[in-house]
Amino acid sequence: MLAPMDTISSVVHPRTDCRLCGSADLTQIMDFGQTPLANAYLSSKELDQPEVFASLVVNFCNNCKLVQLRDVVDPKVLFSRYLYVSGTSPVFVAHFADYAKSVTKRFQLSGDSLVIDVGSNDGVLLTQFKKEGTKILGVDPAENIAAEATQSGIPTLAKFFTPETATGVEAEYGKASVITANNVFAHTDDVIGFVEAVKVLMAKDGAFIFEVQYLKDLVEQNLFDIIYHEHLLYYHITPLIPFFKSKGLRVFDVEHIPTHGGSIRVYVGWDDGPHATSTHVEEMCKGESDLNAVHTYEAFMTRIASGKEKLVAMIADIRDQGKRIVGFGAPAKATTLCYAYGIDATMLEYIVDDSPLKQGLYMPGTHILIKPSSALYEDKPDYCVILAWNFAVPIVKNHQKFIENGGIFISPVPEPHILS
């Protein structure tokens, strides 16, 4: 059985206007019902205590076409139990090393150039810029993580990125050649305040570069599980161009990159700044026409409903044969997937995850236990659904022995299928 739906309404605030253009002309395109907070993993002692649930509803702005969550969960509640520390994942370390190299080269950064990373976490990106020889500064509201990063040589301010924070930073450090923000630009309810802060700090020839998951990949690959309360905005390029223009800024380039199932790296400068606008920007907009129509999302939700039916039937079939099935990976998106698909501990016996931080905890809402991946060999389940599907390739590669022992991996996306 799923957990009772205890909503603490005071921590949830519905938004009635578009976060980019302010229009109130919004259409509801998705409703995943009341879901638990995706990162609120539970210890065994907390299993009988009430959990915070909030409605997971997605709106479409008919004016600028931005796709966004309706409800905002108080960040203090949302991020109070955050376990994810980016530097722990080797895939991301390699990604950020390439990123720092390419940005340093493209913008000819030197020892005088300041790079500011917003939402810098443990300093995984800034560590790479430090190696490239630039000046660095992190901004991250998580005090414990900021203190640890500072101690390990990555100076980090424990603050939210607001115009006030930016004014203080500028007074002390001067203007930034590059301001980076990875995923946090999709986490912020006050996008306008964020961009005002960028404007305080960005040098005349500077660049604001942010990475966010790409709405087109989300829709085309049926990646509905990346929708959860931390992710308030689901970007495509079309709404961003007029938004930045209205702020005196210009999107001058965009790259499509594979992170998190498909992301975009967007480059923004001053509208009258020196960076010529790449043809990539217009090309990408041309490929987005489907994303600007509500019927695309109706078709998307129909596909999600059929994916649910298929996965639930697969699991029932496996269990009817007396076989055992578990999950691999307990990222935040697994909470949305399990909850939206109604998959609980009676269907997946447990989930394995390589992060020691999560082992021994239980999934929010569904209360599925998280174990180390050694359980695949000690306990020998027959099937394993890869919930961390963005790591499916390394997971299958690292667990050939599970397959050799007769184990079978299942991927839940783009529609449920057997992998091996």
The span from the CA of 129 to the CA of 51, in Å, is 40
The span from the CA of 144 to the CA of 127, in Å, is 18
Q: How far is the CB of 21 from Zn ion (least distance, A)?
A: 3
Q: How far is the CB of 375 from Zn ion (least distance, A)?
A: 46
Q: Closer to Zn ion by CB, 192 or 312: give it.
A: 192
Backbone angles phi and psi of 101, in degrees to 5: -60, -50
Q: How far is the CB of 68 from Zn ion (least distance, A)?
A: 8
Q: Closer to Zn ion by CB, 63 or 292: give it.
A: 63
Q: Closer to Zn ion by CB, 8 or 21: give it.
A: 21
Q: Are strands 370-371 and 263-270 parallel, antiparallel or unpaired?
A: unpaired
Q: Closer to Zn ion by CB, 66 or 125: give it.
A: 66
Could you give the strand order of the β-sheet that contains 114-118, starting from the edge strand earlier in sequence? 156-157, 135-139, 114-118, 176-182, 202-213, 263-270, 249-257
- For the chain, the three-class secondary structure string (H helix, E strand, C coil) is CCCCCCECHHHEEECCCCCCCCCCCEEEEEEEEEEECCCCCECHHHCCCCCCEEEEEEEEECCCCCEEECEEECHHHHCCCCCCCHHHCHHHHHHHHHHHHHHHHHCCCCCCCEEEEECCCCCHHHHHHHHHCCEEEEECCCHHHHHHHHHCCCCEECCCCCHHHHHHHHHHHCCEEEEEEECHHHCCCCHHHHHHHHHHHEEEEEEEEEEEEEHHHHHHCCCHHHCCCCCCEEECHHHHHHHHHHCCEEEEEEEEECHHHCEEEEEEEECCCCCCCCHHHHHHHHCCHHHHCHHHHHHHHHHHHHHHHHHHHHHHHHHHCCCCEEEECCCHHHHHHHHHHCCCCCCCCCEECCCCCCCCCECCCCCCEEECCCHHHHCCCCEEEECCHHHHHHHHHHCHHHHHCCCEEEECCCCCEECC
Q: Closer to Zn ion by CB, 64 or 146: give it.
A: 64
Give the residues across from 265 on adjacent strands: 211, 255
> How would you classify residue 135: left for phi > 0, otherwise alpha for psi between -120 and 50, otherwise beta?
beta
* Contacts to Zn ion by CB under 5 A: 18, 20-21, 23, 61, 63-64, 66
Q: How many C-beta neighbours within 10 Å does residue 396 have?
A: 18
Q: Closer to Zn ion by CB, 63 or 296: give it.
A: 63
Q: How far is the CB of 27 from Zn ion (least distance, A)?
A: 11
Q: How far is the CB of 66 from Zn ion (least distance, A)?
A: 5
Q: How far is the CB of 70 from Zn ion (least distance, A)?
A: 13
Q: How far is the CB of 24 from Zn ion (least distance, A)?
A: 10
Q: How far is the CB of 26 from Zn ion (least distance, A)?
A: 8
Q: Closer to Zn ion by CB, 61 or 291: give it.
A: 61
Q: Closer to Zn ion by CB, 180 or 238: give it.
A: 238
Q: Closer to Zn ion by CB, 124 or 212: give it.
A: 212
Q: Closer to Zn ion by CB, 17 or 282: give it.
A: 17
Q: Closer to Zn ion by CB, 23 or 420: give it.
A: 23
Q: How far is the CB of 18 from Zn ion (least distance, A)?
A: 3
Q: How far is the CB of 208 from Zn ion (least distance, A)?
A: 20
Q: How far is the CB of 227 from Zn ion (least distance, A)?
A: 18
